[in-house]
C-alpha cells in the first residue's frame, strides 16, 4: 500500500503544481540520508555517554583499590616510625634506640609486612564476598515454589487452565484473576489483548508457575511470600516453555552467549534466528560483532536491542511453548513488523521443524 500511496501523491501533486513539485521531492529525498545520519549520531552519543559513566565508575574503583594497596604497603614503615617515636617520647632518658633495640624491632616489623599485605588482599576479597553473600542469602531465603502450581501432562492441548483463581500477594481479598478457563491446542497462535493493568502479564506468571499457594487453616488465611498466590484451580502445560518478559534479562556475557544460553552452537539456525530478530545490522555495528561483551544488564545495548536479544534467545531455545509479554514495545514500527512477520508468524507457520514454534502467546 505504501508504494501506491507515494505514487498517487506524486501524480496528484504533479497535476496541481506541475514541474514545481520536483523541487519539493528533491528536498524530501535529501532528508532521508540526513535523518539517518542524525539517528546514527544520536545512538552513538547515547552509547558514548553510557560508556563514559562506566569509565568514571571504573576509575573511582581503581583509585580506591590503589589507595588501599598503598596504605597497607606503607603500614609496616608507619608502624615502625610511630612505635620508635612513642618509645623515645615516653621516657627519653631510659628509652634509647640502641642498635640492639632498633634492629631487633625492625626485624620483627619486617616479619609483619607479609601478613599485613595478605590481610589487605583478604580485606578486599571479604568486601566482595559480603556482597555475594547478601545476594545468595536473599536467593536462598526465598520461599519454595508451589509444586502443584503447574502440571505437565501429555495431551493434544498445549495449555489448559481450569477454574484458575490467582491473586498477587499483599492484595488480600482482591483476586487478580478469577475463574480463568483457557484451552489452547497444539499449533495455535493466541494473542491476549487488554488495557493496562487488566491482568495480561499476571496470567503469564500463572502459566509459568511463578505462583505460591494460599493456605487457609481454620478460617485464618496464610499468604506465602512470592510473586503470585494460586487460590484454586489447575494449570497444565505440555512441553517446555520459553518466556520473553517486558524487561529483557541480559547476562554479563557476549551477545552470542546470551542468545545460546548454554545451548550448542548451530551456525545455520543461529544465523536464521539473528536475521529473523533483526539483529544483523546491530552485529555489524558492534566491535566484535556477536562476540562483543555487552556488559552488566546489557549496558552497551539499547532497550530495543536488549529486547531483540531476549526474543532471539527464546526463538533459539527450541521450546514447545513460547510466551511473549509485550515483545514489540521497545522497537520501532518497521522492526516490529519484521519481527512479527519473520519470528512470530514465520516461526508459527514454518514447515522447517528446526524453526517450528508450536505455540505462541503474545501479550499486546
d(CA 258, CA 311): 11
**Which strand (E) or helix (H) includes residue 90?**
helix 21-90
* Inter-CA distances, 189 with 259, 297, 327, 348, Å: 23, 31, 15, 7
Residues 53 and 170 occupy one common structural domain: no
Q: Which of 354, 160, 220, 198 is nearest to 276 (CA)?
A: 354
Residue 204 lies in a domain: yes
Q: Which of 239, 262, 289 is the last residue of a domain?
A: 239
Mean pLDDT of 160-186: 72
Q: 349, 337 in Cβ contact below 8 A?
A: no
pLDDT tens, 101-134? Answer: 777 777 777 777 677 667 767 777 787 788 888 8
Residues 32 and 98 occupy one common structural domain: yes
Residue 50 lies in a domain: yes
pLDDT tens, 202-244? Answer: 777 777 776 544 444 444 444 344 466 667 777 777 777 888 8
Q: 259, 312 in Cβ contact below 8 A?
A: yes
Residues 167 and 248 occupy one common structural domain: no
Residues 52 and 122 occupy one common structural domain: yes
- CB within 8 A of 310, min separation 6: which ones? 244, 245, 248, 249, 250, 327
Q: Write down the pLDDT at residue 197.
A: 74
Residues 28 and 134 occupy one common structural domain: yes
Q: Write down the pLDDT at residue 220.
A: 42
The DSSP call for residue 298 is G
pLDDT tens, 298-330? Answer: 777 777 788 888 888 888 888 778 888 888 877
- pLDDT of 151 strictly over 60: no
**Which strand (E) or helix (H) includes residue 180?**
strand 177-185
Residue 101 lies in a domain: yes
Cell numbers found for residue 350: 514454518
pLDDT tens, 234-278? Answer: 777 777 788 888 888 888 888 888 888 888 888 888 888 888 888
- CB within 8 A of 113, min separation 6: which ones? 76
Residues 183 and 77 occupy one common structural domain: no
Predicted model pTM: 0.56
- Comparing 75-84, 162-171, 273-282, the range with the smallest average pLDDT is 162-171
Mean pLDDT of 341-350: 67
Where residue 177 falls (left for φ over 0; alpha for ψ -120 to 50; beta otherwise) is beta
Mean pLDDT of 324-339: 80
Residue 37 lies in a domain: yes
Q: For a pLDDT cut of 90, what percent of the chain falls above it? A: 0
Q: Which of 197, 212, 239 is the last residue of a domain?
A: 239
Residues 131 and 72 occupy one common structural domain: yes
Residues 105 and 90 occupy one common structural domain: yes
Residue 7 lies in a domain: yes
- Give the chain's mean pLDDT: 74
Q: Write down the pLDDT at residue 116.
A: 66
Residue 72 lies in a domain: yes
Residue 268 lies in domain: 244-363
d(CA 48, CA 121): 33
Residues 168 and 93 occupy one common structural domain: no
- Comparing 11-15, 157-161, 303-307, the range with the smallest average pLDDT is 11-15
Q: Which of 141, 165, 183 is the last residue of a domain?
A: 141
CATH number for the domain including 155?
3.40.50.300
Residues 15 and 89 occupy one common structural domain: yes
- pLDDT of 32 strictly over 80: no
- Residue predicted with more confidence, 268 or 146: 268
Residues 357 and 260 occupy one common structural domain: yes
* CA dihedral sign, ordered 229, 234, 239, 245: negative
Total domains present in the chain: 3
Residue 48 lies in a domain: yes
Residue 146 lies in a domain: no
d(CA 115, CA 92): 32
Residues 137 and 8 occupy one common structural domain: yes
Give me the residues paired with residue 228 across strands. 168, 211
Amino acid at each position: 500500500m505504501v508504494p501506491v500511496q507515494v505514487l498517487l501523491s506524486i501524480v496528484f501533486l504533479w497535476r496541481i503544481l506541475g514541474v514545481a513539485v520536483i523541487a519539493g521531492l528533491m528536498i524530501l529525498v535529501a532528508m532521508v540520508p540526513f535523518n539517518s545520519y542524525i539517528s546514527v549520531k544520536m545512538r552513538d552519543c547515547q552509547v558514548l555517554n553510557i560508556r563514559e559513566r562506566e569509565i568514571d565508575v571504573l576509575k573511582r574503583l581503581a583509585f580506591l583499590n590503589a589507595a588501599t594497596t598503598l596504605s597497607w604497603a606503607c603500614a609496616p614503615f608507619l608502624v615502625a616510625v610511630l612505635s620508635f617515636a612513642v618509645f623515645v617520647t615516653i621516657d627519653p632518658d631510659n628509652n634509647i634506640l640502641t642498635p640492639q633495640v632498633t634492629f631487633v624491632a625492625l626485624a620483627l616489623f619486617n616479619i609483619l609486612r607479609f601478613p599485613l599485605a595478605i590481610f589487605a588482599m583478604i580485606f578486599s576479597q571479604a568486601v566482595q564476598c559480603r556482597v555475594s553473600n547478601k545476594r545468595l542469602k536473599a536467593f536462598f531465603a526465598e520461599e519454595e515454589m508451589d509444586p502443584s502450581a503447574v502440571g505437565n501432562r501429555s495431551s493434544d492441548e498445549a495449555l489448559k487452565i481450569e477454574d484458575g483463581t490467582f491473586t498477587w500477594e499483599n492484595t488480600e481479598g482482591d483476586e487478580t484473576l478469577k475463574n480463568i478457563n483457557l484451552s489452547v491446542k497444539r499449533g495455535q497462535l493466541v494473542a491476549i489483548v487488554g488495557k493496562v493493568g487488566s491482568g495480561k502479564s499476571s496470567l503469564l506468571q500463572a502459566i509459568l508457575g511463578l505462583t505460591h499457594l494460599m493456605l487457609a487453616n481454620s478460617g485464618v488465611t496464610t499468604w506465602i511470600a512470592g510473586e503470585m498466590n494460586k487460590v484454586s484451580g489447575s494449570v497444565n502445560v505440555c512441553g517446555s516453555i520459553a518466556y520473553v518478559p517486558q524487561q529483557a534479562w541480559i547476562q554479563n556475557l557476549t551477545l552470542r552467549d546470551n542468545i545460546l544460553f548454554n545451548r550448542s552452537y548451530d551456525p545455520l539456525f543461529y544465523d536464521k534466528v539473528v536475521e529473523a530478530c533483526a539483529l544483523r545490522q546491530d552485529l555489524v555495528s558492534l566491535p566484535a560483532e556477536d562476540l562483543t561483551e555487552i556488559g552488566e544488564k546489557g549496558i552497551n545495548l539499547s532497550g530495543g536491542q536488549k529486547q531483540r536479544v531476549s526474543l532471539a534467545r527464546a526463538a533459539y531455545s527450541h521450546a514447545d511453548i513460547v510466551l511473549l509479554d509485550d515483545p514489540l514495545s521497545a522497537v520501532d514500527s518497521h522492526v516490529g513488523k519484521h519481527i512479527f512477520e519473520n519470528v512470530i508468524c514465520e516461526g508459527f507457520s514454518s514447515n522447517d521443524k528446526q524453526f517450528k514454534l508450536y505455540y505462541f502467546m503474545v501479550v499486546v
